[in-house]
Structure 1
């Protein structure tokens, strides 16, 4: 199996590349802004000609598209950029994948759901209703990915790990420095450990699994609870963390109140359950 990772220098992409190579899988990876030793193919997926040319040349069996414009608040003001990457860029990848009969795995988001607490946890059959422009573009990416005959849509949430900058690496840095953190307590989800998501991507690829699957951790927690668990596992002072409401915190893009997804269907398909925050943090601490 030959795998091409789009966005191989990012948090999820780098985990997929590392895990794939460690398991004897032939993996190549692209980057857009940050070249790494294992992501050395320059690709801007908003360039349809370049995307088609590179994918045709590499001719992979499987393409895993992790590349996205993730700045949720900035997406509200930079709408053209968000759409060009998350919707049009994904369409470019999907069209190129279909041209060579490759299996496309596209990473979406839990934010495609409105996040009403009475409706959570959401299953794959629940109707979507994106609450912000970032989510709109990612759902448009889901639709665009279906150009490909063989496609899998995975919906993760609050992806974290140590391979790249993310909420957890930021929080660890602040806690280590003894700085006070103000974290929202009324945004709830089931965070996704990046190595688990990487494993799921490769299992989906190996087994030719297609369709839409939720790909989150098993535990539903608020951002505040998530951060206090992190502090506890790492031995930092949890009193440095102060809860705040979303209204008080102030964010340009509306956020779901509870976007918890039910990922048990994916767990069954790949015969593997993702780790919750405490277990994942302990794994991170162990290196």
Structure 2
């Protein structure tokens, strides 16, 4: 199978590209500034904001599956319009699309969200992700839209880097005790996305970890695993700040998990 990972140089994208190549697929992955690290992958430069470039690249590679993991939190055009460009090009080329979305599409008012919950974002990034979902649903009804949460690995994720910096005292800030998510391991997430790509399933799917944990609890687990003193982590409550964004968002993944062989582990299990 020919697989194209859009946004392949990111933390998730690189894992998707590596797993695809390891499984023996023909793999290409795109990057904006520099290629990723995955071996056995054809790395291609692409700016998803350029509709013509997206159409030309997907037309030339002619993938069976496109997984869109491209986003920039501060850039509406990349996150929302870029997703539409990828959906248009994939649909026009006859490929299957798996679009990666986020729990940022929710406000947190309901706390726990199933796949049929209507997005109610409270941040520009969440609004861009919600707009991308709507565009993909209209352009490519057969696509999978996979909402996920905080992505963690065995090292290398942004949150793990933040924890290390805070624990070593090289960065100011704090981890919130009331900011709750369902962290997912990057390997589990990539495997689940590739598994869904190889099915005829369509629509919204939730792919997140089994445990709802605060950013502070998660940070403490990471610090202990990586040889830092968790007691050195500064903490506080997000509710006591003026930071915009949801506080407690938990993705209910029970329905999706029933259709997956990949087991979505919780952070208390995979961060050891």
Aligned to 2:102: 109
Q: Distance between the aligned counterparts of 1:4 and 1:35, measured in 2?
A: 14
Contact 1:231 1:237 in 2 (8 A): yes
Aligned to 2:125: 134
Gaps of 5+ in 2: none
Aligned to 1:59: 62
Q: 1:232 aligns with which of 207, 215, 224?
A: 224
Shift of the 91–219 alpha-carbon distance from structure 1 to 2, 3 Å rule, reads same
Q: Any idea what SS the aligned residue of 1:239 has? A: helix
Q: Distance between the aligned counterparts of 1:208 and 1:240, measured in 2?
A: 48
How far is 1:156 from its partner?
0.6
Counterparts of 1:39-118 in structure 2, within 5 Å, are 40-70=43-73, 75=74, 82-116=75-109
How far is 1:263 from its partner?
0.9
How far is 1:29 from its partner?
0.5
Q: Distance between the aligned counterparts of 1:167 and 1:39, measured in 2?
A: 28
How far is 1:159 from its partner?
1.3
Aligned to 2:16: 16
How far is 1:48 from its partner?
0.4
Q: 1:273 aligns with which of 247, 263, 271?
A: 263
Q: Distance between the aligned counterparts of 1:208 and 1:231, measured in 2?
A: 40
Q: Any idea what SS the aligned residue of 1:108 has? A: strand
Q: Which moved more, 1:84-93 or 1:30-39?
A: 30-39
How far is 1:215 from its partner?
0.9
Contact 2:14 2:36 in 1 (8 A): no
Deviations 1:149-173 (CA, angstroms, capped at 9, x unpaired): 4200001111122564411133135
TM-score, scaled to structure 2: 0.92
Question: What RMSD, in angstroms, separates the aligned Cα atoms of the two structures?
Answer: 1.9
Q: Any idea what SS the aligned residue of 1:127 has? A: coil
TM-score, scaled to structure 1: 0.87
Instruction: Give the count of matched residue pairs.
Output: 268
How far is 1:174 from its partner?
4.1
Q: Distance between the aligned counterparts of 1:206 and 1:217, measured in 2?
A: 21
Q: Distance between the aligned counterparts of 2:270 and 2:61, measured in 1?
A: 34
Aligned to 1:4: 4
Counterparts of 1:151-230 in structure 2, within 5 Å, are 151-162=143-154, 164-175=156-167, 182-230=174-222
Q: Any idea what SS the aligned residue of 1:5 has? A: strand
Q: Distance between the aligned counterparts of 1:241 and 1:184, measured in 2?
A: 10
How far is 1:250 from its partner?
4.4
